């Protein structure tokens, strides 16, 4: 780590550094495959025409391709785009190397996601000149991990504003927000640039005759709370003025997984097995978190028919006796699945809710419950030792290659969560103009 000089008298300070990796998935692919550098690249969750990009390189973004752009639209906007199937395990491996590189400059306080992390500054680190040096050191350390990797960094009085700053200058930028310049330094932003303001929230704010960030900042804390309908509005009021506190983390309320089906799995029978596999994976994660579920839900979306409208999505859920074992959850799942329509499925999902910590669970009254719980624990132990997928329900054998572990927006899966797979992960490529299966 760099030895920092003493801050100058009266020098402005910041308290947080936020690092946001630019076009992370696409940048990793360009690092691994030099022939893709300088070319527009889109990352897909699955090699199928009925999906969308989950990431895009900056070369692709210049053509208007971004996260959420459908395959057909991406090809229309950029005919020579290269579309790749995501390789989540590779991105997690790079993530750990990047965290280590960042920590060679400054300890990471919180990993926010696979491509975002926050560092609290202390002592001499808080001086703007020193914080800037640390940010430049991080950018250089990142290049040592991969020459195609870039990041944007925000420096600010609190984590909220540091994150906001990291979004203000991309790619490979750095933004410094000082307490003395707030909130005026934010007036040029759009409402949706502010964290916590989605399109739906923007429409709600417009109902109060507020259309700019400047107008929003003129509200009182109480008025902000009224507009949001919750204490979050009041918290944002303070964050926009540099107050340094982190929103308290609430107890986890649900845990779920969903998956867009590959063409060969778009039948009711195969969708059932894929959903079953998702349930077993969710149940395993539930046990790792030492939680018990008091509710189970299942959902599905369906393919449009050529001559008719798209069938309505289906969803079913039920309250259940608290459990965490795969066998009991499977029994409840089978009952719910009976109500699934016969239309051709496109996507399935499962979720567990009414979660409680293990220590709050009442001990089982029946031996069967205890045996099923112990058997599930043995399955977890074998899968931890020999790799995810070493032990699985026989009925999911035909869909073992489906629904692999993905990376969510808010958590980074452990490398042990990726199943041992005979198919090389991410081996498929859809080139510009090449027909998809």
Residues 6+ apart with CB under 8 A from 255: 282, 285, 286, 289, 291, 293, 351, 352, 353, 355
Whole-Å CA distances, 201 to 126, 185, 192, 204, 211: 34, 22, 8, 5, 12
Are 407 and 88 a contacting pair, CB within 8 Å? yes
**pTM for the model:** 0.77
Domain 254-377+391-396 has CATH 3.30.1490.100: yes
Is 34 in a helix, a strand, or coil? helix
Walk along the chain (437 residues) in steps of 10 and give the mean pLDDT of each run: 84 97 96 96 86 93 94 95 94 96 96 95 96 97 96 98 96 97 97 94 96 97 96 96 83 84 89 92 90 95 79 93 91 95 92 90 64 80 72 70 63 66 43 37
Q: What is the pLDDT of residue 387?
A: 67
Q: What is the pLDDT of residue 50?
A: 77
Rounded CA-CA distance 147/28 in Å is: 10
Q: What is the pLDDT of residue 411?
A: 67
């Amino acid at each position: 780590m760099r030895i920092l000089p003493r801050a100058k008298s009266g020098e402005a300070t910041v308290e947080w550094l936020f690092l946001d990796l630019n076009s992370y998935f696409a940048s990793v692919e360009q690092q691994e495959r030099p022939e893709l550098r300088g070319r527009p690249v889109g990352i897909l969750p699955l090699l199928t025409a009925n999906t969308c990009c989950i990431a895009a390189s900056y070369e692709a973004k210049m053509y208007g391709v971004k996260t959420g752009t459908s395959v057909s639209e991406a090809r229309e906007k950029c005919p020579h785009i290269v579309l790749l199937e995501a390789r989540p395990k590779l991105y997690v491996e790079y993530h750990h190397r990047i965290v280590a590189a960042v920590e060679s400059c400054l300890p990471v306080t919180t990993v926010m996601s696979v491509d975002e992390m926050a560092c609290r500054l202390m002592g001499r680190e808080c001086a703007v000149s020193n914080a800037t040096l640390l940010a430049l050191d991080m950018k250089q350390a990142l290049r040592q991990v991969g020459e195609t990797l870039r990041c944007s960094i925000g420096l600010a009085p609190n984590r909220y504003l540091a994150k906001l700053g990291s979004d203000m200058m991309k790619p490979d930028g750095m933004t410094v927000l000082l307490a003395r310049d707030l909130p005026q330094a934010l007036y040029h932003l759009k409402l949706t640039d502010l964290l916590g303001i989605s399109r739906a929230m923007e429409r709600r704010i417009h109902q109060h005759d507020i259309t700019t960030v400047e107008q929003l900042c003129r509200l009182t804390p109480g008025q902000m709370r009224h507009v949001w309908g919750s204490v979050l509005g009041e918290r944002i009021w303070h964050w926009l003025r540099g107050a340094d506190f982190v929103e308290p983390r609430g107890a986890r309320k649900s845990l779920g997984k969903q998956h867009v089906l590959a063409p060969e799995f778009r039948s009711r029978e195969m969708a059932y097995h894929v959903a079953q596999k998702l349930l077993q994976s969710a149940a395993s994660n539930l046990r790792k978190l030492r939680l018990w579920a008091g509710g189970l839900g299942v959902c599905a979306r369906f393919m449009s028919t050529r001559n008719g409208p798209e069938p309505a999505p289906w969803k079913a859920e039920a309250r259940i006796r608290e459990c965490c074992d795969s066998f009991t959850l499977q029994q409840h799942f089978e009952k719910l699945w009976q109500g699934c329509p016969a239309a051709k499925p496109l996507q399935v999902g499962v979720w567990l809710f009414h979660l409680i910590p293990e220590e709050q669970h009442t001990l089982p009254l029946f031996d069967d419950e205890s045996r099923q719980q112990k058997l599930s624990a043995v399955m977890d132990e074998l899968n931890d030792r020999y790799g995810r997928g070493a032990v699985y329900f026989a009925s999911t054998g035909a869909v073992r290659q489906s629904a692999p572990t993905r990376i969510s927006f808010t958590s980074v899966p452990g490398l042990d969560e990726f199943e041992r797979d005979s198919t090389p992960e991410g081996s498929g490529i859809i080139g510009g103009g090449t027909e998809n299966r």
